[in-house]
Structure 1
Amino acid sequence: MIALLLMQQIAVLFLIMGLGFLIVKLGIVETEDSRVLSMVTIYLVLPCVTIHAFQIEYSTKIRNGFLLAVVAAILIHVILFIVCGILRKLLNMDEVETASLIYSNAGNLILPLVTSILGEEWVIYASGFLCVQTIIVWTHGQSLMQGQRQVNWKKIVQNINLIAILVGLVFFLCNIHLPKILDSMTSSLAGMIGPISMVMIGMLLAGVDWKQVFGKRRIYGIVFLKMIVVPGIITLCLKLAAPLIPMENAKTILLISLLAVIAPTAVTITQMAQLYKRDAAYASSINVFTTLVCIVTMPLMVMLYMM
């Protein structure tokens, strides 16, 4: 049932993405205008999604579930490092390819999916994965793309979404609730996450050089690894682990972590590729290709996990 709902919701989001693609092709807006939506999403909508998710009554059940999500995210990244480290040596992968396999666009795609399929009360567990990935991408991810061991603590500390998670967590642990008018505001903005994210992606896709995306042979292997092989390994690990965890919602919480892994390559990798003079066009192509493929691979992995 969850796999079917997932396919339906992904289809809805991709139709919205098609509208974003269309308004660019009709000349109503330009691809570059998507940057405005990107900034609104990152600095306004996503933080509201996170803070609103933590506006629930404190309970040990939810606290333990959040801790499970954090521990699962850490262990998943350890597995990703090991698997991708082996693949990098075997296939002589560069920094862009390695980072593309490890880091996913868990925020823009998974938060709206979790909200639509499971409900707002489950976003708190998705935030656990985002918290871990945010820290790791600006430590290991940046060092990998930069080609040297250097941690940008400023980027970590000033990351608006990490700040939102920490603020939301404090509110939850201290059982602090926003005034009704502020809670209504964050709830309204949180409801925008799905449409605004997909319109933005559609606008970006309208400016893509499709010959470049599909013309490079190596990209097919990388996308296959990113969307089938690596998620397949994580799916099997989580499937084996779920029955061993004595927690009522363990299987669903691990499913949310799995969705984050199956998500397309993180846009952050393209941004880092531009910053550190890597092959940004290749990184962008991987992001586009994995975005298109996830509509098929995500439901398949979920069905494998739920069997």
Structure 2
Amino acid sequence: MQISIVFEQTLKLFLMIIVGYILARLDLLDQHTKQKLTKILLSVTTPFMMIDAFSDRMKTLETEGSGSVSVGMLFLVSFVFYIALIALSFIFVYAMRIPKQERRLYLFMTIFGNVGFMGFPVVQAVYGGEGLFYAAILNSVFNIFVYTYGVILMGGASGSGGSFMQQLREIPWKKLLLTPAVIGTALGVLIFVLRIHLPEVIESTCNTLGGLTSPIAMLLVGANLSGIKWKELFSNIRLSVYVVLRQTMLPLLLWLIIKPTISDPVLAPTLLLLACMPVANTTSLFATEYGGDEKLASEGIFLSTLFSLLSFPLIIWICVK
């Protein structure tokens, strides 16, 4: 992958973000519209994009021969990826001497990046269908971790999480298993494993609807950034330092693990790119649901999203040559 292509695709996404920002400032993309578009993105376009990614990958492998990485190996790599993130999150948080009352929230922000909402469009733009196929597998593992370990973390962050067993019982298994993205991924896996060839009209529909994901997601990122109170955002020095380290040092440390262990020329940089993604939107939702610091969570999302637009092309340029 030539680095010029990475920057070209990044620029396209950045321009869409600017359009979203302008639309929001002109009140053409208001709060109500953002909520509706977010639901459409998560419930409709993303699942169709997952199905299309698996179907497209299946046809590619049938034409070009078997790929270098099996689905089972991809799931294993994804689990190891998140275990490594959990280990690194403790190093980050304790090295920065984060206050105890904020520690669990910072751990959550370090582990869970915006893999689906922002990661999918970026990976698809830079590494195409194969990269998106890998990202879809990793996102399914993301859901497993966020609705298990993430719930335990944020339940404890509120100070009312109860015992470990109580927190385990509070894990929302329906949300874990029945989110549209998970259903879309599950259908995609079935299509891939069972070699199901969809009728052309259905395949075309999945491709068209899935193709809406990237522009909608980038418009929403821009619209969300329009609501930032810049002076307040940069007044939290600890958070600002954390975001810079999270968006630069964390991907570089993960790359030291990825590079010598994964030889696939698309999987390795795809994992790196996903490691560069900003704090997940789920952070704010979980902070609200479990009584965490909503303001800090929102600031972490906004600041990391803003900085990631500069950091991830730089990280890719440094690591992928």
Using structure 1 for the length normalisation, give the TM-score.
0.92
Q: Structure 2: which 5+ residue stretches go unaligned? A: 162-166
- Counterparts of 1:189-268 in structure 2, within 5 Å, are 189-243=209-263, 250-268=264-282
Per-residue deviation, 1:11? 1.8
> Structure 2 vs 1, CA of residues 259 and 65 (structure 1 numbering), >3 Å: closer, same or farther?
farther
CA RMSD of aligned residues (A): 1.9
Once residues 5 and 70 of structure 2 are traced to their aligned partners in structure 1, the CA distance between those partners, rounded to angstroms, is 23
1:110 aligns with 2:124: no
Distance 1:32 1:210, change over 3 A: farther
**1:134 to partner: Cα distance:** 1.1
Rounded Cα–Cα distance in structure 2 between residues aligned with 1:26 and 1:237: 45
176-185 or 118-127: bigger deviation = 118-127
In the other structure, the counterpart of 1:181 is 201
Tell me which residue corresponds to 2:91.
86
TM-fit CA distance, 1:65: 4.0
1:278 CA displacement = 1.1
The CA deviation at 1:122 is 3.2
How far apart in 1 are the matches of 2:149 and 2:261?
Answer: 26
Aligned residue type for 1:280: E
More divergent stretch after superposition (130-139 vs 120-129): 120-129
For the 8 Å contact 2:130–2:266, the answer to whether it is kept is no
Q: What is the letter of the counterpart of residue 224 of structure 2? A: L
Distance 1:27 1:164 in 2: 33
Letter in structure 1 aligned against 2:148 = T
**Residue in structure 2 matched with residue 33 of structure 1 by the alignment:** 33
Q: Find the partner of 2:75 among 56, 70, 73.
A: 70
Shift, 1:4, TM fit: 2.7
Deviation at 1:173, TM superposition (A): 0.8
SS at match of 1:223: helix
Deviation, 1:297, is: 1.5
Q: Find 1:158's aligned residue among 153, 159, 178.
A: 178
Please, what TM-score do these two structures have when normalized by structure 2?
0.88
Aligned to 1:246: none
1:144 is the counterpart of 2:127: no
Matched-pair contact (CA < 8 Å) for 1:10–1:113: yes
Q: Give the secondary-structure state (helix, strand or coil) at the position aligned to 2:292.
A: coil
The verdict on how the C-alpha distance between 1:168 and 1:101 changes in structure 2, with shifts beyond 3 A counting, is: same
Give the match for residue 287 of structure 1.
301
**Is the alpha carbon distance of 1:8 and 1:153 closer, same or farther for their aligned partners in structure 2, counting shifts above 3 Å?**
same
Residue 198 of structure 1, CA deviation: 0.8
Q: Distance in 2 between matches of 1:27 and 1:111?
A: 27
Shift of 1:251: 2.9
Q: Deviations over 1:129-183 (max 9, x none)?
A: 1111111011101110111432221210111111111111011111112221111
